[in-house]
Structure 1
Amino acid sequence: MGLTIVSHPLVQHKLTMMRRKETSTAEFRQLVRETAFLLGYEVTRDLELETVHIETPMEEMEAPMLKGKKLVLASILRAGEGLLFGMLDLLPSARVCHIGLYRDHNTLEAVEYYFKAPEDISERLVIVVDPMLATGNSAVKAIDQLKKHGAKQIRFVCILSVEQGIKQLQKAHPDVDIFTASVDRALDPASYILPGLGDAGDRMFGTK
């Protein structure tokens, strides 16, 4: 499946503002939310439509509406919450799945501590949201769990990525499309993205 780099001028402008180390917690959180809203347009560009009969204040007509069940937005805790709420601004009827993962700092492997999803997840398109695709371990683990619970159509949305994480995710789940605002240069020895924007969760929630 594919990789889409969202190069829209507004997305790139907001990304630059997020990268600046002097950007405040409140500003960073708002920028993540706004960027998620814009990324949401790209990831939902090809949703299927059906024609329904409605009545405007002027006359009756046939008009397009989304077909089938609403989406599931799957947030990888905790940093995924910033993207989640931006996506919900665009898709307020979406169901929400939460996947709790933390990174073991010795092995860099993702460890799951929480999973809660709609029962009919197998019948819905699932959009996984996490600001960073670094090693790819968290994304792979999250999608492993989603598939284990029946998810069949999955897309992954992040703000920043690197080649290593993209390859890791594509190798493990070649059926999952990836949407990102940037493919950055590399990972540092601690597996943080360079040039990156720091720790998205800490910057979003003011915890460091």
Structure 2
Amino acid sequence: MNNVFVFDHPLIQHKISLLRDKNTSAKEFRELVSEISMLMGYEVTRDIPLKEVEIETPIGHARTKVISGKKLAFVPILRAGLGMVDGLLKLVPMARVGHIGLYRDHDTLEPVEYYCKLPEDISERDVVVLDPMLATGGSACDAVKVLKRNNAKSIKFVCLIASRQGIERLHREHPDVAIYCAAVDETLNDDGYIVPGLGDAGDRLFGTK
């Protein structure tokens, strides 16, 4: 699959297995989501440009590299995407955070937008959209539309588990958006949940199941 990056690192795969387990508590689930997001963030941010600077160490002068002023924004899709923010902010604390609120209509399985708050300079930022699950692809596509409407500089989509249907839809509607995930599952059930997936990520994060 073009423009899809699936993480096969042993630590990520181990933590995804724990995340899927129905016996994992809400506390453990939140910790795992944060940890996996941080581990994935290492590769998601690989293309950040660097510039050379000169610093003084306790021993002498050194020419070394720092991030070259690239502006990032993390935009979780509410509410489950919130669980991924802290892990990524630990890596990139200078990033801004926006929020897009979507809920899925249970009859049509399509997203309904109810909230949007983005950094004022979103048009100058490279945006990373966060949502633990890429299921039907409806919410992901809608969030990307919102960001493009606000002239986001570039957009990546990061999830923990994706369905093949969700990947295909996001690629079909937004072929310019790279997808990063830790696992790809084959199917969706009649309610639009990924099978085998991990259930409702929002409910499991916040203990509302």
User: Does the alignment reach a TM-score above 0.5?
Assistant: yes
Q: Aligned residues, how many? A: 208
Match of 2:87, SS state, is helix
Contact 1:160 / 1:182 at 8 angstroms: preserved in 2?
Answer: yes
Gaps of 5+ in 1: none
Match of 2:64, SS state, is strand
CA distance in structure 1 between the aligned counterparts of 2:187 and 2:20, rounded to whole angstroms: 15
Of all paired residues, the percent bearing the same amino acid is: 57
Shift of 1:133: 0.2
Shift of 1:122: 1.4
Shift of 1:70: 2.7
Shift of 1:79: 0.1
Q: How does 1:4-23 map to 2 (within 5 A)?
A: 4-23=5-24
Greater shift after overlay, 27-36 or 68-77?
68-77
Shift of 1:90: 1.3
Residue number in structure 2 paired with 1:33 = 34
Q: Describe the superposition over 1:40-97 as per-residue Cα deviations: whole angstroms up to 9, x where unpaired.
A: 0111112111111211121122111111233100110000001111111111111001
CA distance in structure 1 between the aligned counterparts of 2:28 and 2:206, rounded to whole angstroms: 11
Q: How does 1:108-127 map to 2 (within 5 A)?
A: 108-127=109-128
Residue number in structure 1 paired with 2:82 = 81
Residue number in structure 1 paired with 2:51 = 50
Shift of 1:152: 2.5
Contact 2:130 / 2:159 at 8 angstroms: preserved in 1?
Answer: yes
CA distance in structure 1 between the aligned counterparts of 2:174 and 2:120, rounded to whole angstroms: 22
Residue number in structure 2 paired with 1:138 = 139
CA distance in structure 1 between the aligned counterparts of 2:143 and 2:157, rounded to whole angstroms: 10
Residue number in structure 2 paired with 1:105 = 106
The alignment's C-alpha RMSD in Å is 0.9
Contact 1:69 / 1:123 at 8 angstroms: preserved in 2?
Answer: no
Contact 2:71 / 2:124 at 8 angstroms: preserved in 1?
Answer: no
Shift of 1:149: 0.6
Match of 2:89, SS state, is helix
Q: Describe the superposition over 1:110-133 as per-residue Cα deviations: whole angstroms up to 9, x where unpaired.
A: 111111111111111110010000
Residue number in structure 2 paired with 1:169 = 170
Contact 2:49 / 2:70 at 8 angstroms: preserved in 1?
Answer: no
Greater shift after overlay, 57-66 or 78-87?
57-66
Residue number in structure 1 paired with 2:66 = 65
CA distance in structure 1 between the aligned counterparts of 2:32 and 2:73, rounded to whole angstroms: 23
Greater shift after overlay, 43-52 or 175-184?
43-52
Q: Which amino acid aligns with 1:56?
A: T
CA distance in structure 1 between the aligned counterparts of 2:67 and 2:208, rounded to whole angstroms: 39
Q: Under a length normalisation based on structure 2, what TM-score does the superposition of the two structures give?
A: 0.97
Q: Under a length normalisation based on structure 1, what TM-score does the superposition of the two structures give?
A: 0.98
Residue number in structure 1 paired with 2:182 = 181
Match of 1:100, SS state, is strand
Contact 2:97 / 2:118 at 8 angstroms: preserved in 1?
Answer: yes
